Chains A and B, each alone.
Chain A
Amino acid sequence: MSLTAEPMVIEDSVKLAAEHEAAGRLGEAEAVLDRILEKNPKDAEAVHLKGVLAVRGGRTAEGAELMERSIVIGPARPYYRRNLCEVYRTLGRYDDALRAGKKAAADDPADPICHANLSVLYYERGEPLEAIASGERALALNPNLPGAHFGLAEALLLRGDFERGWEEYEWRFRMPGVPTLMPIEGVPQWDGKPLESGRLMLIADQGFGDGIQFSRYIPWAAERCAEVVLACSRELQPLLGQLPGVSQMFDRWEIAPASAAYLPLSGLPRLHGTRASNVPTSLIPYLKPDAERTIKWKARLDELAAPHHRRIGLVWAGRPTHKNDRNRSVALNRLSALTDLDGVTYVSLQKGPAESQVGGYFGNAPLINLGPEIDDFVDSMAVIENLDLVVTVDTAIGHLAGAMGKKAFIMLPYAPDWRWLENRSDTPWYPSVRLFRPPTPRDWDTVSAEVAAAIKAG
């Protein structure tokens, strides 16, 4: 019944339900709990577990209510509030979450999970110093808590403390539920020392944006190894294949060549010794558009766009399964300050379910829904090449424009991904990119107005 990594103590009376829940048999668990609650509606443990089930079933608000009720019924166990803290956080009720989390920590100061949860919460509240302190408290109680290490890593990196941050970041693959990065046994992780006669297998881990961002290190790795091969999804191959130094790319483990060592792309900055002050940018533009497709898309845009307008690419939503999608994506119609502008035509580079929002777009500026015609990143790059500017939330398109050296405005969530650092409108990763930050969580009106003003200013 845990919402976090650690198992919880539960009463014998609901033990069976908890076993069902832990095994993923949510229906059976619910049935057992209903029987218990029919006899004793004030069984706090059963009510709380019902709340857990509701959250797991996607009924988060209902889960919060049940958990609140379990606390009212009492006696409240500390993990009631610890769980509730997490649920409030996912609902964006940060003040409630903080109250619950602090009380849970006060009730059971020896519970490292409470502090790890608080660390994540503080990060999302935009309070990285507190996130670091909570993470450190959690690790003092349990030095092997991967979630606490990872939370700490993100807060340290966000603060620009890359030296400590990269080390803590290594715990990301030990997080519960994270699949093994390297399924081939017996291949060690590369330590950055020259592999003069061996082959290094780089693995494009994480999302497309990460792959684009960290691919800049491929030439650096290639200089230190006899050969570099790249495990990489098909979508990224035409992009990452542009970096010098890769001898082979593959997207299935069955055809992976034998290698002396491996490393995720996201592990390269640590080995490179990257700090906020020495991010390698000299290769930019390290991604270049295909010439033929660039001509094709120019012709298409000339057909579709108002002839005298500035052409601005627009992306308002990321992959819905991203853990922070609720905070990083925005509804198209929330960007009214942007879409009210004169003299611009927006070119939607949006892919995925959010494409359908174009059907309900009635802003002043024309919006060309190019998404349905864009097949892959090669198309996206060729389109971007024909644009005056790209405006995007934190998605791979921002990385793509940055890696191409094209002007881009990235609209960040209030608590952004660590890579965008704190309180700055530029980024050491991409000189052509400008960052826009909301003053409070999900204040897209302010962001949209600031971006609109920047577009107007040219």
Chain B
Amino acid sequence: MAQRDVKNRIASVKNIEKITRAMEMVAAARLRRAEQRIAALRPYAGAIRRMTRQAAEAAENIPSLPILSEHESERTIAIVLVTRDRGLAGAFNSQILRAGLRAGAEHEEQGRSVVYYAAGRRGVSTLRFRKKDPVGEYVGFTDRPAYANARDIADDVMTAYVDGQVDRVEIFYNGYVSALTQEVRRETLLPLQQATILEASEGDDEDTGHHALVEYEPDPEEILRRLVPDYVEISIFRALLESTASEHGARMTAMRNASENAGELIEDLTLEMNRARQAEITQEIMEVVAGAESLT
């Protein structure tokens, strides 16, 4: 390659490196915000759990809600795929799609039919391309999911479950472990397990012990009827938040790798440029020498 061409390539790789470094920093800032939002959900979820236990003790049992009871046979499975609106984050979206589609294929082999719900444009477009049009599409919020977005998804899957269109609901999302580690998680949303509802988590076990005096408006069974579905909403909201945090973590890592690759490429190209320059000089000297020789 000529010296000038190599020089141009070095310049363009340097520009790319600047962009990827900037994207890495943006992702880091967004990751911090996403981590804060996961932390902000915890007190709310803990309070919901404490209220549920209080109401369940007062009611002396949990009413047999439709979302708690298993259907007699599992004919249709709903799979919720949590992807992002954008790419550029390594294998982030494709690993969710692969895991979800593989699980769907397994269900189909066992004679069950599968319907898909997709959050994020990547999931929607891939499913359409595979001719598996999602029955529920939720896009345009993956940078900053609101609780209302989780409620929309929860309402749709709970409605489908209660009205008998689906017999089980599974969700696939990128669980956030740390900025460097995200893992594909597969959870069953419905039927909801009673054990999940009454499970005590550390920190909220201080029993208040004056339940007998508490007034309920309306009665505890009615309150539980609304509290229990909240678990599904909260699970989905947590999945959306973790997925957002994971996306920024994955993008940060992908951009860091890209910047490092650009750095290596610049070194290689610089070496090549020096070699080309040396070759050109050698060539010129040889021409001069050859010209001088022909004169003598």
Asked whether A and B interact, the reply is: no
**Contacts from B to A (Cβ < 8 Å):** none
**Contacts from A to B (Cβ < 8 Å):** none
